[in-house]
Amino acid sequence: MSRDRERVIELMSELTSRVGGVLTDMVPPSAQVHLLNAQRELITALVLIYEHRVAAPGPPGGRARSGARRAPARRRSTRRTGKIPIE
């Protein structure tokens, strides 16, 4: 494991413990579970983004191909078949 990765994991652990302390003081227990799950997902996403950046740095300029063209956008039909009944 590289030293940078160890430091990132250590930082995430420290942030998790600090946010956890704030949660127990200010947030009702029913909301704590939801927020802790969201925090876990965010940390996982940040670690994956970091690992992706370190493993495969992109070319300078931020574009994958220099002459890349986008496909034309498809139009969605906005016509409705009729009114929607509301009860």
* Residue 50 covered by a domain: yes
* Residue 30 covered by a domain: yes
81 in Cβ contact with 42 (< 8 Å): no
* Residue 38 covered by a domain: yes
Task: Provide the number of structural domains found in the chain.
Answer: 1
pLDDT recorded at residue 70: 66
pLDDT tens digit sequence for 61-72: 655 555 556 666
* Residue 26 covered by a domain: yes
> What's the rounded mean pLDDT across residues 12-33?
80
* Residue 13 covered by a domain: yes
Q: Which of 10, 17, 16 is nearest to 43 (CA)?
A: 16
Range of the domain at 13: 3-55
pLDDT band at 41 (very low <50, low <70, confident <90, very high): very high
* Residue 15 covered by a domain: yes
* Residue 42 covered by a domain: yes
User: CA 38 → CA 16, 44, 47, 86, distances in Å?
Assistant: 12, 10, 14, 36
pTM for the structure as a whole:
0.41
* Residue 60 covered by a domain: no
